[in-house]
């Protein structure tokens, strides 16, 4: 059965945004996102949200912007997936701290060409991702934009003060772990771009669909992050958003250490291996520098390895934290080579590769 709020929304999907107005749109969003919680004292509709956190919790706050033409392209991204991903990348930041996401605020700059239906699809995607992790939209803003869609999402979460994990705690001798598989999202993006140039046909191969889905609708590792935090095993953790090489460099820079990892140990999905002939770069390139996998990368002392494997999380030991501030990769021939951070950098004049000169 379709919820009443969605039936209400469908009545005016064909209405132009200029006729509906900002407050009419906000009312649509409020009805769509309506969800009661004793932790929300005031939600959408007031000047600010009033929220309640446990006295023992540390409050986690993170925010991200997504700009059309830089972070996404509507030629190969639907509005529902765009809403999902806008929320998921922020949920992933909370996961990287071992936290529990609680509340979300979204702001949306909307170009004149965007219809009410498109905006509603965007918020439907947001809502689906939030509901999957019992997180509530409690506010935000909407305005007009003359330069494409502009999205800003703020996520609030909580963690036990004794369990939060940062980027700063890696120690020489720590083992380096990653969850899941790497490179799928970047490969999926390439497949989407290629299909867009060919007129939108993405192919019917299931392994290609799995890769594009990884890019369009990533799954934040909230529960895995919480398990790792509760185990007290990890010294440092980050989510893989910029690419393995860059995010490992972030941990090393913040902790004042270096790292050496094995190319042969980096986990790759069967879909990525099967898609190799359809892709322009090597599997390792996607895994090292592709980004947007939103898996967890963390370090832990070797004495905790058995405890970690008992958590029931798919994780792989890919290397070791070193004392010297260098990043190295042992390639498939067993040769150790410098590892340069090659993930996406918005302001490329200052690169992490300058920090880790070998």
**How many helices and strands, by DSSP H and E, does the chain display?**
12, 13
Please, is 27 exposed, middle or buried when counting C-beta atoms within 10 Å of its C-beta (0-12, 13-18, 19+)? middle
Whether 81 has a pLDDT exceeding 90, the answer reads: yes
Which secondary structure element, helix H or strand E, spans residue 40, and what is its range? strand 40-42
Compare 247 and 57 and report the one with higher pLDDT: 247
The residue to which tokens 């004049």 are assigned = 349
Residue 10 has what pLDDT? 43
Please write the tens of the pLDDT for every residue from 15-51. Answer: 565 555 555 555 655 556 556 677 887 777 777 888 8
- Token pair of 240 as six digits: 């893989």
Please write the tens of the pLDDT for every residue from 250-272. Answer: 999 999 999 999 999 999 999 99
- Token pair of 225 as six digits: 């992050």
Residue 341 has what pLDDT? 93
Distance between CA atoms of 349 and 327, rounded to whole angstroms?
Answer: 20
pLDDT mean over 166-188: 97
Q: What is the pTM of this model?
A: 0.86
Distance between CA atoms of 195 and 187, rounded to whole angstroms?
Answer: 12
Q: How confident is the model at residue 350 (pLDDT cuts 50, 70, 90)?
A: very low
Sign of the C-alpha dihedral computed for residues 300, 302, 303 and 308 taken in this order: positive
- Token pair of 154 as six digits: 């703020």
Please write the tens of the pLDDT for every residue from 98-148. Answer: 999 999 999 999 998 888 889 989 999 999 999 999 999 998 888 889 889
If you average pLDDT over every residue of the chain, what do you get? 87
Whether 4 has a pLDDT exceeding 70, the answer reads: no
CB atoms within 10 A of CB 178: 26
Residue 29 has what pLDDT? 59
First to last CA, the chain: 61
Q: Domains for the chain: give ranges and CATH numbers.
A: 4-160 (3.30.1330.10), 175-355 (3.90.650.10)
CB atoms within 10 A of CB 68: 18
Whether 150 has a pLDDT exceeding 80, the answer reads: yes
Whether 158 has a pLDDT exceeding 60, the answer reads: yes
Distance between CA atoms of 140 and 308, rounded to whole angstroms?
Answer: 38
The answer to whether 116 and 20 are in contact (CB under 8 A) is yes
Q: Which residues of 250-280 are buried (b: 16+ CB within 10 A; e: fewer)?
A: bbbbebebbbbbbbeebbbbebbeebeeebe
Residue 293 has what pLDDT? 97
Which of the residue ranges 40-49, 160-169, 319-328 would you say has the lowest mean pLDDT?
40-49
Distance between CA atoms of 203 and 299, rounded to whole angstroms?
Answer: 39
Residue 57 has what pLDDT? 87
Q: How far, in Å, are 52, 127, 253, 308 from residue 319 at the CA level?
A: 41, 38, 17, 15
């Amino acid at each position: 059965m379709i919820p009443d709020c969605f039936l209400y929304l469908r009545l005016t999907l064909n209405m132009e945004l200029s006729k509906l107005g900002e407050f009419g749109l906000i009312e649509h969003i409020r009805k769509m996102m309506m969800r009661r919680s004793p932790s929300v004292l005031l939600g959408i509709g007031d000047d600010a949200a009033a929220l309640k956190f446990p006295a023992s919790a540390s409050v986690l706050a993170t925010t991200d912007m997504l700009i059309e033409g830089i972070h996404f392209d509507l030629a190969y991204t639907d509005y529902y997936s765009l809403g999902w991903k806008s929320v998921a990348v922020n949920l992933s930041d909370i996961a990287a701290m071992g936290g529990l996401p609680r509340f979300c605020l979204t702001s949306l700059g909307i170009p004149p060409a965007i219809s009410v239906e498109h905006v509603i699809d965007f918020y439907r995607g947001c809502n689906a991702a939030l509901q999957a992790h019992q997180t509530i939209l409690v506010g935000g803003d909407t305005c007009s934009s003359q330069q494409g869609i502009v999205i800003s999402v703020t996520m609030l979460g909580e963690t036990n003060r004794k369990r939060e994990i940062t980027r700063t705690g890696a120690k020489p001798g720590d083992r380096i772990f990653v969850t899941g598989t790497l490179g799928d999202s970047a490969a999926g993006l390439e497949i989407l771009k290629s299909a867009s140039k060919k007129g939108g046909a993405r192919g019917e191969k299931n392994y290609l669909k799995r890769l594009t889905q990884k890019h369009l609708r990533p799954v934040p590792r909230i529960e895995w992050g919480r398990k790792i935090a509760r185990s007290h095993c990890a010294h440092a953790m980050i989510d893989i958003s910029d690419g393995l090489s860059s995010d490992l460099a972030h941990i090393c820079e913040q902790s004042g250490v270096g790292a050496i990892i094995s190319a042969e140990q980096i986990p790759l999905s069967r879909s990525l291996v099967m898609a190799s002939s359809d892709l322009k770069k090597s599997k390792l390139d996607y895994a090292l520098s592709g980004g947007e996998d939103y898996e967890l990368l963390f370090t832990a002392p070797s004495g905790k390895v058995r405890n970690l494997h008992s958590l029931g999380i798919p994780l792989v030991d890919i290397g070791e934290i070193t004392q010297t501030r260098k990043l190295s990769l042992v390639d498939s021939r067993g040769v150790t080579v410098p590892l340069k951070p090659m993930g996406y950098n918005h302001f490329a004049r200052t690169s992490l590769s300058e920090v880790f000169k070998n």
